[in-house]
Amino acid sequence: MFDIVTDIFRALITGAIFFYLRSMRGQEPPRLRKAWIFFLIGFGLLFLGGLLNIADNFPSLSKYIFIGRTRYADFLEQIVGYVFGLLFLGIGFWRWIPAIIALRAEEVVLRRSQEELKRQVAELTEERNKLKKTIECDLAYAAKEAATTQQPGDAP
């Protein structure tokens, strides 16, 4: 009884992961797309192996060739389900980890460039404020000078 419960629990977990990855298909980042398909296939095969493992607990299913306690079902469960499932997961990680490392390196570069841009914006804003003050001062001086050079009876 405990075997059936653990087999069902394992199949539910791998099935939930498989269906979640399947529902997220197309939303993965482009750089991770090659690894994503291997994860999907790997969890699908593990789910298949889990379902076949559950079927092993019911002797009445042995009359079917690919379900129950037969050589074919054991081959599908152990080799196709578990071995190839883990193989595909391994290939997925093998492709996924370098992509993650590259994305982290790009993130560091982008953060540095963002900090540099913020520094440049601050410098340019300070320079703009200085120029604005200089222009305002010059305009005020020019207006004052124009007012003093004009005589009250002169036409503008």
> Amino acid identity, residue 37?
I
Closest C-alpha among 34, 31, 15 to residue 23: 15
Q: Does residue 101 lie in a domain region?
A: yes
Q: Does residue 7 lie in a domain region?
A: yes
- Output the furthest CA–CA distance in the chain (Å, rounded): 120
User: In the chain, how many domains are there?
Assistant: 1
Q: Does residue 156 lie in a domain region?
A: no
pTM above the 0.85 mark?
no
Q: Does residue 154 lie in a domain region?
A: no
Residue 153 token pair: 């009876």
48-92 pLDDT tens trace: 888 888 877 776 766 665 566 667 777 888 888 889 999 999 999
> What is the domain range of residue 126?
2-147
Q: Does residue 118 lie in a domain region?
A: yes
